[in-house]
Structure formats: structure tokens, C-alpha cells
Structure 1
Amino acid sequence: MKQKIISIVKKAIIMLLITSTVIGGLIYWLFFDINRIPEGELIDQIESPSGEYSLSIYLINGGATVSYAIRGELEYNQLNKKSKNIYWNYKEETALVKWIDNNTVDINGHIIDVRYQVYDWRR
């Protein structure tokens, strides 16, 4: 009898862990995944000093009830890799972009190493 209770408790804990993992992943995907933000209107495109990357800056119009936002999408010019969002900031309408070196960019005062980092105002 004791073995049966232990088995039931183990199964319940495993089911609870699986359920919470699935729900947590869904919440992240719906509300925090930077790749789900709207595309926006292209306002600038800046190439890195080495020509390895291009950074496209988009203005996102959230509509009547939401402020404007800026999105930065990194494109790989020399590698066959999918582009990725590296910058998203709320309540901005312009972007001042300056490449510091071949891998580091300054977007409105936020320093980002494009190989490893992203800036998302929600974090």
C-alpha cells in the first residue's frame, strides 16, 4: 500500500512539473518573446564597420492607445543566418545608432554586443 501511494505522489509531481513548464513557456512566448513584436516601418539601416552586419531600425506605431516604440533587427550580411531582433524600446520615436566597433552598437544610449546581447525594455 505504501509503494502505491509513493507511486501516485511521484506521478502527481511529474504531471505538475510538466504542466507548469508548458504554461510558463506559453506565457513567455505570448508576452515576453522579443521575436513576436510587430515589424513596424523601416526608418534607417546602418551597416557595421566590417560590413558583417546590417542593423535595420523600425518605428512601431502601437495605435491610438499605445506609444511608439523602436525595434532594431540585426541582419547577417556574410553568414547564412536568420536575422534577429536585438533592440526594442517603448516610448521612443527616433533612434540614434552608432557602431562602436565591429560587434558593438550603441542605440539610444544602450550598448549592445550583437553577438550575445539584446535590449528589451520589459527586462
Structure 2
Amino acid sequence: MKKWVIVIVIIFIIGIPIYDFLNVELDELSVGKFLSEYPSPNNDYTAKAYLIDEGGATVRAAIRVEIDFENEIKTIYWNYDESTVNIKWLDDETIEINNHKLNIFYDTYHWKKDSNWEGNRNN
């Protein structure tokens, strides 16, 4: 019985940090290096783009975009294997980031949650 308890404890000690590392949420991302900012057409919101490039030779760069709502900042976009960003506001609530159209209030793009991420790369 003691052996099973030890095995379970070891699984939790090793498994939880690995699970947490693999399941990164948008609000847990590092800030990254500021690239540029894009005010909305009505100037109520600002999209700010950042380059996350902390992996050295083993991890590729990623782009993170946050929306500044004046009293709240929310990351709405994170895509791996990107080092440049193309942002275009389509209207006061809709933004296109590297060919991904998002409503700033309801939508997010998280590359790990995109089942077709590989197919959408470098479009």
C-alpha cells in the first residue's frame, strides 16, 4: 500500500507542473518585447503587439496581442512560430491579426487550441 501512495505522490509532483506548462492560458503569457500599437477607429481601444522570443535555439518566436480597454488589458491573440504582425481594424469591435478575424469582446486566438494550426501557418 505504501508503494502505491508513493507512486501517486510522485505522479502528482511531476505531472501537475507538466500539465500546467502544456496548458498555458492567454493571461499567463510573458509580456514580451513591445512591437507596435494600433488604435481602434474610434480611438476607444488600442491593440498592442508583442514578440515573445525567450526560447533561444529550441523554441521559435510567438506573437501576442493585447487590447487595452483603458481600465482593463486582455490578451486576445497568441500564435507560435510568428515574428511579425499585421494588424488591421475592420470596425470598432473587429480586428484582423495575421489573417485571424476576432471580435475584441468575445473572441480569442490561442494556437494550442486551434486544431488546424499547422494548416494555417504562414498564410
SS at match of 1:122: helix
Of 59, 75, 100, the residue aligned with 1:66 is 59
Summarize the alignment of residues 1-123 of structure 1 with structure 2, pairs less than 5 Å apart: 27=19, 31-64=23-56, 65-77=58-70, 80=71, 82-123=72-113
Q: Distance in 2 between matches of 1:32 and 1:41?
A: 19
Give the count of matched residue pairs. Answer: 97
1:28 CA displacement: 6.2
- TM-score, normalised to structure 1's length? 0.72
Going from structure 1 to structure 2, the CA distance change for 1:92 and 1:30 (only over 3 Å counts) comes to closer
Going from structure 1 to structure 2, the CA distance change for 1:63 and 1:32 (only over 3 Å counts) comes to closer
Residue of structure 2 equivalent to 1:12: none
Q: Distance in 2 between matches of 1:74 and 1:118?
A: 11
Residue of structure 2 equivalent to 1:18: none
- TM-score, normalised to structure 2's length? 0.72
Q: Distance in 1 between matches of 2:20 and 2:74?
A: 17
Q: Deviations over 1:79-105 (max 9, x none)?
A: x3x201000000000000000000000
Task: Tell me which amino acid in the other structure corresponds to 1:114.
Answer: I
SS at match of 2:112: coil
Q: Distance in 2 between matches of 1:30 and 1:84?
A: 21
1:34 CA displacement: 1.0
SS at match of 2:43: coil
